[in-house]
Amino acid sequence: MSHAPESPSAPSVRPTPEIAGKVGALALAPGSALPSVLDACCGSRLFWFDRADPRAIYIDKRRETHELPDKSSRGGKRSLVVAPDVVADFTALPFADESFALVVFDPPHFVRNGAKSWVGLKYGTLKGDWREELRRGFAECFRVLKNEGTLIFKWNEADIPVSQILELTPEQPLVGNRCGKNAQSHWIVFLKQNKPDEERPAGRNS
């Protein structure tokens, strides 16, 4: 679950143009001067201690803002701001192989959520062939991760057991932890193995 406090007001997110411009120019160049960390589906960045951490680049497939009446929040409403540095799809990441030391992968985990519900807006909903989407997401996250780099994967088992999700990647998890109200949330750490070239899936730059 989130360690960072959830602010009732809109999160302050870094203005996007300079990073977005940087990505446009550098993303596909191996060895480019990108930040060390990729959040592959940042949503509203709830679990970040600093939601504009300069060590990270934040992507999501959507850019949107929502407001909901909420008596407990200042101003009587609650905001949800999804403002990635770059709008991109984690099944086709616009970065060179081995670009990042750390990748954070927290994809949607609900299949039953109404897309318009607050939880649906906050976390997204799995649709269609979501197994293939997550399989490709894992493959892309590992592709852009440096050898010996770390992938942090988060999953909530409300709808789908984590064991089924771990089958979607050939990579072996290292350590993990259950937490949350019903111990349904998992934080799982992978270390990218330094495989010989012939065992590695062909990357975009190979």
Residues that bind ligand SAM (CB under 6 A): 41-47, 60-62, 82, 89-91, 106-108, 123-124, 133
User: Smallest distance, Å, CB 64 to ligand SAM?
Assistant: 9
Residues in CB range of 176: below 8 A, 6 or more apart: 186, 187, 188, 189
Residues in CB range of 134: below 8 A, 6 or more apart: 107, 126, 165, 168
CB-nearer residue toward ligand SAM: 132 or 148 = 132
Contact (Cβ atoms closer than 8 angstroms) between residue 99 and residue 34: yes
User: Smallest distance, Å, CB 199 to ligand SAM?
Assistant: 27
CB-nearer residue toward ligand SAM: 34 or 82 = 82
User: Smallest distance, Å, CB 5 to ligand SAM?
Assistant: 12
CB-nearer residue toward ligand SAM: 26 or 87 = 87
Contact (Cβ atoms closer than 8 angstroms) between residue 43 and residue 123: yes
Place of tokens 């899936």: 201
**Hey, which bits of 42-193 come out as E strands?**
56-60, 64-69, 77-82, 86-87, 100-105, 145-156, 173-179, 185-191
CB-nearer residue toward ligand SAM: 147 or 189 = 189
User: Smallest distance, Å, CB 41 to ligand SAM?
Assistant: 3
CB-nearer residue toward ligand SAM: 27 or 196 = 27
